[in-house]
Amino acid sequence: MSALLDLHDIHFAWPGHAPVLAGASLRIAAGERVALVGANGCGKSTLLRIALGLLRPAAGQVTAFGRPRRTEADFHEVRRRAGLVFQDPDDQLFCPTVREDVAFGPLNMGKTRAEAVAIVDAVLDRLGLMHLRDRITHHLSGGEKRLVTLAAVLAMDPEVLILDEPTNALDPDNEARLLAILQSLPQAIVLVCHDAGFRARLVGRECHLSGGRISPG
Amino acid sequence: MTFAPAPGLATAAATPVAPPDALLTRLDPRLRVGAALAFALLVAALSSLAALGAALASALALMALSGLAPRATLRRMAAMDGFILIMLILLPFTTPGAPIATLPGGLTASQQGLHLAIDIALTANAVILMLMVLVGTMDPVTLGHALGRLRVPAALVHLMLFTVRYIEVLRAEQARMRQAMKARGFRPRTDLHTLRSLGYLVGMLLVRAFERSERILQAMKCRGFTGHLPLLDDMRLRRADLCFALAFAALLTALAGLELGLVRIA
């Protein structure tokens, strides 16, 4: 089976700092759920951003959906088909209302406003978030913000969902709700999460990132 | 609350940096601010081209002493000239006076206008160069402290210090939001969707900056802030400062003398 995402021998360093990634490789197959584990600052978020072309590696190949991806234009398609949920929901929510924020991705994909609104309603309904539809995004609680960012990414109907510490600052109820939603999704998932219990209930495979390289756990 | 420059700020700002051991950078910051101010006030009052030329020459000479990279510094000075270029070109034609040249279209340039244009060009360049040499070589936090010590209103000093401290935080926040937009397939185009999205981005930045400022104020109040920032560094005038002050005063006096015809360039 061909991999959805295949990061091979990725090297990366921030200017003036020691390398964060030094030959990291990661393969995600269709429908697979994988956790990426490692200490704070070991380069997990960096690796996820490289997979979406938001950062460029110093060396290494990114293959996504069967094709090598090098230029900014190559990654436009990757970003439509792989949905990244950011670590801090506030980075992601920038529109005044929930409805507009969830519609943002579909509109970028070329949907008409009417189609986008229909998608928004469908996704919010599926996640049980219809009551938040017309709320102001920055007045939402932390748990609500997290679920809305997930809805905003699911509205683009990605083939793989990339979650960067989605349980940060969630109370047990919201965490259970998030877990139930994620378990019900057919998408492949790449999960970065420090909570071993959450990982164990969601993913089948764990990869450890340390010293800039990935070893299967 | 102490103010350290945010990491990355020094590298992010494209300021030509003078070597820390250069003669001018070791002077008391208050003296440098005061000298630049006195120079600006005097040069603005000068009108003889000889005095103005001497002022520009002295600024150039100090630049050589300051250890600033001459090319980068002069390029920045030229960037300022771009703003006044149109005015300088138009002045000879718009100022009434003795005609010296007539364009084919019937436009007449006056001698007084030409003099005025040269006066303004020399003044602007001399002052901006002296500012870059004396004040521009200071890091912004030091400048803020120097202004505080010079009894500039605390509100203005705080505004400047907070801007220095948080501009990088805001820039990073903006960059993260742009990444998140990109991750959801956003590409700027010329359409309403792009304008609306960028508008939301700016609006959200303002809302967040406002809320952050309230959180920071609360945190500062929790640590006893009552509107007064204690400045930790003590600035003292040393012998070298005194020598510089005397030399600079002599320079200003010479410029004034040139203007009044008391001094002549041999």
How many domains does the structure of chain A reveal? 1
Together in a domain, B122 and B246: yes
Q: What residues make up the domain containing A210?
A: 3-216
In a domain, B251, yes or no: yes
Between A28 and A90, the higher pLDDT residue: A28
| Tokens coding B234 | 């003590």
Place of tokens 């960096």: A46
Together in a domain, B165 and B71: no
* Alpha-carbon span A212 to A185, nearest angstrom: 30
For chain B, the helix, strand and coil percentages under 3-state DSSP, each to the nearest 5 = 70, 5, 30
Please name the residues in contact with B23: beta carbons below 8 A apart, sequence gap of 6 or more: B65, B66, B67, B240
Instruction: Look at residue A151 and tell me whether its pLDDT is greater than 50.
Output: yes
In a domain, B10, yes or no: no
Instruction: Look at residue B43 and tell me whether its pLDDT is greater than 50.
Output: yes
Q: How are strands ordered across the β-sheet holding A213-216?
A: A82-85, A160-164, A188-192, A33-37, A205-210, A213-216
In a domain, B75, yes or no: yes
Q: What residues make up the domain containing B45?
A: 19-145+237-260
Mean model confidence pLDDT for chain B? 85
Q: Residue A184: what pLDDT? A: 93
Instruction: Look at residue B13 and tell me whether its pLDDT is greater than 60.
Output: no
> Assign residue A56 a region: left if phi > 0, alpha if psi is -120 to 50, beta otherwise?
beta
Strand partners, A5: A28, A64
In a domain, B218, yes or no: yes
* A104: nearest CB among B179, B197, B204: B197
Q: To the nearest whole percent, how much of chain B has pLDDT over 70?
A: 88
How many domains does the structure of chain B reveal? 2
Burial of residue B102 (CB within 10 Å: 0-12, 13-18, 19+) is exposed
Place of tokens 């050589």: B64
3-state secondary structure of A189: strand
Together in a domain, B74 and B200: no
CATH code: domain of residue A165? 3.40.50.300
Together in a domain, B194 and B253: no
Together in a domain, B245 and B158: no
| Tokens coding A189 | 């998932």
> Could you tell me which residues of chain A have a Cβ less than 8 Å from any Cβ in chain B?
16, 49, 52, 54, 76, 79-80, 83-84, 86, 88, 90-96, 100, 104-105, 107-109, 138, 152-153, 156
Q: Residue A47: what pLDDT? A: 94
Together in a domain, B243 and B201: no
* Alpha-carbon span A103 to A115, nearest angstrom: 9
In a domain, B172, yes or no: yes
**With contact defined as beta carbons under 8 Å apart, do B177 and A91 qualify?**
yes
DSSP code for A166: T
Say which range, A155-164, B23-32, B46-55, B213-222, has the weakest mean pLDDT.
B213-222
First to last CA, chain B: 55
3-state secondary structure of A174: helix
Of residues A119, A176, A177, the one with CA closest to residue A153:
A119
Of residues A64, A65, A45, A61, the one with CA closest to residue A9:
A61
Together in a domain, B249 and B133: yes
Q: Residue A163: what pLDDT? A: 94
ipTM of this predicted complex? 0.73
Together in a domain, B52 and B138: yes
Together in a domain, B193 and B242: no
| Tokens coding A32 | 């697979």
pLDDT confidence of B17, banded at 50, 70, 90?
A: low
Q: Is B12 in CB contact (< 8 Å) with chain A?
A: no
In a domain, B266, yes or no: no
From the candidates A98, A104, A164, which should be mutated to test the interface with B, based on the most B CB atoms within 10 A?
A104
Q: Please provide the size of chain B in residues.
A: 266
Q: Please provide the size of chain A in residues.
A: 217
Q: Which amino acid is at A60?
A: G
Instruction: Look at residue B122 and tell me whether its pLDDT is greater than 80.
Output: yes
The widest CA-to-CA distance across chain B, in whole angstroms, is 72
Q: Residue A123: what pLDDT? A: 96
Say which range, B67-71, B187-191, B215-219, has the weakest mean pLDDT.
B215-219
Alpha helices in A71-171 (DSSP H): 72-81, 89-92, 98-108, 113-126, 142-154
Together in a domain, B179 and B203: yes
3-state secondary structure of A21: strand
Whether residues A153 and B184 touch (CB distance < 8 A) is answered with yes
Can you tell me the mean pLDDT for B229-252? 84
Q: Is B230 in CB contact (< 8 Å) with chain A?
A: no
First to last CA, chain A: 22
pLDDT digits (tens, 9 = 90+) for A95-118: 888 999 999 999 888 889 999 999
Chain A residues within 8 A of B183 when measuring between CB atoms: 52, 54, 79, 83-84, 86
Say which range, A160-174, B2-16, B131-145, B147-161, has the weakest mean pLDDT.
B2-16
Question: Measured between CA atoms, how close is B184 to chain A, in angstroms?
Answer: 5
Closest-approach residue (CA) in chain B for A52: B183
Chain A residues within 8 A of B181 when measuring between CB atoms: 94, 104
Chain A residues within 8 A of B177 when measuring between CB atoms: 91-92, 94
Q: Residue B3: what pLDDT? A: 46
Number of Cβ within a 10 Å radius of residue B114: 19
Question: Measured between CA atoms, how close is A14 to chain B, in angstroms?
Answer: 12
Between B40 and B163, the higher pLDDT residue: B40
Together in a domain, B165 and B137: no
CB pairs under 8 A between A and B: 64
Q: Residue B219: what pLDDT? A: 75
Extended strands (E) in chain A: 3-12, 21-29, 33-37, 59-64, 67-69, 82-85, 160-164, 188-192, 205-210, 213-216
**With contact defined as beta carbons under 8 Å apart, do A212 and A23 qualify?**
yes
Q: How far is CA B213 from CA B144, B169, B176, B218, B229, in A?
A: 19, 12, 19, 9, 16
pLDDT digits (tens, 9 = 90+) for B62-97: 998 888 888 999 999 999 898 999 999 999 888 888
Together in a domain, B60 and B139: yes
Q: At what angle do helices B49-66 and B70-94 cross, to 10 degrees?
A: 160
Q: How far is CA B69 from CA B16, B72, B93, in A?
A: 7, 6, 37
Q: To the nearest whole percent, how much of chain A has pLDDT over 90?
A: 76
